[in-house]
Every structure is written in structure tokens, then in C-alpha cells.
Amino acid sequence: MLGCDRVGAVTRLVQVAVAGDVAEAEQLQELLSAAGIESQLEPAVEHDPDTLDDPPLKVFVSESEVEDAREAIEALTELDDELLEDA
């Protein structure tokens, strides 16, 4: 068919991290955003308001950006480790 473009291509999301709480998830999301990588957050466990006020969250990125996302997260982890050693 002439002039037929691929519309609505689905991008598969891949989990790159699990954040222990909302603050950590937002920190990872900001880091990824600064690296030009869009991310999405989803609860890591079924949220029960009676047991978890600040549940862990999964961090997802598009499949094409997994390697870059993992490198950015690893760099942040190494920086955190260095700061802890210097303290």
C-alpha cells in the first residue's frame, strides 16, 4: 500500500532498577532525565496502605535505552560509594 506509514509503534519497557522508596525513585528518574532518558515508575509490590507508606518502585526505560540507563545508574552508585568513603 503506497503511503502507508507505521503508526503507533509499541516500545517495550525494561526494568533497570528497583528503588527502595519514592525519594530514591525520583532521584533515579531525575538522573535518567538529565541523561536524556525517559523513564516510568511502577510499584514493586502491591501497595497496601496499611503496611507500606512509602513502597519500593520499579524503574523502567525503553528497550533501546537500557544500556545507557544502566551506565547512568552505575555512575551514580559509584559516586555515592565515593562520597561514603570520604565521609
Task: Enter the C-alpha cell of residue 80.
Answer: 555515592
Query: What DSSP character marks residue 10?
Result: P
pTM tops 0.85: no
Domain positions in the chain: 13-86
Query: Is domain 13-86 given the CATH code 3.30.70 in the classification?
Result: yes
CA nearest neighbour of 43 among 25, 28, 68, 30: 25
Query: What DSSP character marks residue 36?
Result: T
pLDDT, one tens digit for every residue, the chain (87 residues)? 444 445 556 689 999 999 999 999 999 999 999 999 999 999 988 766 666 578 899 999 999 999 999 999 998 878 767 777 776
**DSSP-H helix ranges across 1-87:** 22-34, 66-86
Query: What DSSP character marks residue 9?
Result: P
